Amino acid sequence: MSVTRPPVGAPEIRRLDPVLEPGHTYASVTDKIAAVVLTRPLGIGWLAGFTLTFSLVMLLFGSLAWLIVKGVGIWGINIPIGWGFAIVNFVWWIGIGHAGTLISAILFLLNQKWRTSINRFAEAMTLFAVACAGIFPLIHTGRPWMAYYMMPYPSTMGIWPQFRSPLIWDVFAVSTYGTVSLLFWFIGLLPDLATLRDRAKNRFQQLIYGALALGWRGSAHHWHRYQSAYLLLAGLATPLVLSVHTVVSFDFAVAIVPGWHTTIFPPYFVAGAIYSGFAMVLTLAIPLRKVYGLEDFITMRHLDNMAKVMLATGLIVAYGYFVEFFMAFYSGNKFDVFLAQQRLHGPYAHYYYALILCNILTPQLLWFEKVRRNVAALFVMSLVINTGMWLERFVIVVISLTRDFVPSAWGRYQPTFWDFSTFIGTLGLFVMLIFLFVRGLPAIAISEMRELVAHESHSGGDHK
């Protein structure tokens, strides 16, 4: 059972770092994680960060208000480039969310113990990323107040959505994903909310956490059903997460536009989603463990493993880029060949080279253990990969649309101030929600950490 320990006396096999630093008890993990929420005073850093991100949220609201007043003409989109930043950002955000589900569901099914201390905030990250993603398809319609047309309901006009369209699939995929992620997150939180209720320092905390905990009392009967439901949800979320980015890639792949109409898109989109998601988990985990002193729980082992997942998914993404090129030339279709050349030599070629640098070349450094164990290097790497994944979506959306079949229909795309302000606004919203989350709810699953303590104390005994 103890995966972490090499056989006794095995030469030259380096011991892996522990998933949990030794010496912790049920009470100590509970105290440490709950204290961040219940007792720790608000520091100047938190307040400054919250203020900054809150102002960015105001920028977002301002941009959205201006958009509703003036319409999508305030953006850089035009004919033929009808999909600009809105779709780039949508795909980027929804992809980031995928790592949260991967960690909480797939690694759970694979019985990977190292997921325990990172699953909670990775799930929160998923929810917040989906919230940011959800804004874009809504506003890119131009008339967001008509968005309910996409839902199937018996309208007096007698019209119904077109269920053969990937855009309608998207509505169902993303809303299901958001709902299931919320349910998964909430039932994971339930025992921890009970812990916070029982340790509340004042009436206010007691009321809030007490109401949210629904009267959870840790009964063995309850745990039994709880575990059954949790396992089932993990099993359901696993194909769901793969389906979501597959459906997102169908938005492109089902169209006949050169550069989009390829069968590699679904797997390569899913890999890219996990790639960027793990990068975002690292971007959040590294400051979080530092600021709140959680290095005992989020150990080098976690960072190392996440770096390895990034390397693996990054290679799949690189393979995707290669296959895109190969198929373009192999097909002999002149539009596909032309588009591939446009990526290398066209007006947006510098984006493509930046993308290769960020997504393929830089991450090769992760082969080196020295880099995987250097926290600062990993942090920078995670930012580079997130930039790279954003560029990937920009390349896919913009280059294909600027150069389609007839030269008379070619165009150029230049994002405006409002494109940037909306995007930066959602970044602010995301980080602000994370700020609120780390101080309002336990950022690490306490009850699962206690289980880990029980497990570690067990497997530790017979080896020492």
Partner 1 sequence: MKEHPSQLFGVMGEFATPEQILSAAKQAREAGYKHIAAYTPFPVEGLAHAIGFRWTAVPLLTLIGGLGGGLTGFGLQYWVAAITYPMNIGGRPLNSWPAFIPVTFELTVLGASIFAVVGMLALNKLPQPYHPVFNVERFAHASTDRFFLCIEARDPKFNLAETSKFLQSVAAEHISEVKDEG
Distances (CA, A) of 94 to 146, 178, 216, 277, 430: 22, 10, 32, 9, 12
Q: Does 147 bind partner 1 (CB under 8 A)?
A: no
Question: Judged by CB under 8 A, which of 11, 158, 332, 407 binds partner 1?
Answer: 158
In the chain, the amino acid numbered 205 is: Q
Query: How many Å from the N-terminal Cα to the C-terminal Cα in the chain?
Result: 15
Min CB(449)–partner 1 separation in Å: 9
Q: Does 197 bind partner 1 (CB under 8 A)?
A: yes
Which residue number, 30 or 382, has a Cβ lying nearer to partner 1? Answer: 30
Site string for partner 1, 5-34 (x = CB under 8 A): --------------------xxx--x----
CB-based contacts of 343, cutoff 8 Å, min separation 6: 259, 349, 352, 395, 399
Asked if 178 and 133 count as a contact pair (C-beta separation under 8 A), the reply is no
Asked if 96 and 125 count as a contact pair (C-beta separation under 8 A), the reply is yes
User: In angstroms, rounded to a whole number, what is the distance separating the alpha carbons of residues 178 and 132?
Assistant: 11
Q: Does 35 bind partner 1 (CB under 8 A)?
A: no
Min CB(463)–partner 1 separation in Å: 18
Which residue number, 52 or 211, has a Cβ lying nearer to partner 1? Answer: 211
HSE-CB for 348 with a 13 A CA cutoff: 25
Which residue number, 393 or 450, has a Cβ lying nearer to partner 1? Answer: 450
Q: Does 141 bind partner 1 (CB under 8 A)?
A: no
Site string for partner 1, 401-440 (x = CB under 8 A): ----------------------------------------
Min CB(185)–partner 1 separation in Å: 11
Asked if 12 and 297 count as a contact pair (C-beta separation under 8 A), the reply is no
Q: Does 180 bind partner 1 (CB under 8 A)?
A: yes
Distances (CA, A) of 182 to 10, 108, 292: 45, 17, 25
What is the token pair recorded at 308? Answer: 């390895």
- The SS3 assignment for 278 reads helix
Min CB(13)–partner 1 separation in Å: 30
Site string for partner 1, 240-279 (x = CB under 8 A): x--x---x--x-----------------------------
User: In angstroms, rounded to a whole number, what is the distance separating the alpha carbons of residues 454 and 191?
Assistant: 17
Residues lying near partner 1 in the complex (CB under 8 A): 25-27, 30, 152, 158-164, 166, 168-169, 172-173, 176, 179-180, 183-184, 186-187, 191, 194-195, 197-199, 210-211, 214-229, 232-233, 236-237, 239-240, 243, 247, 250, 447-448, 450-451, 454
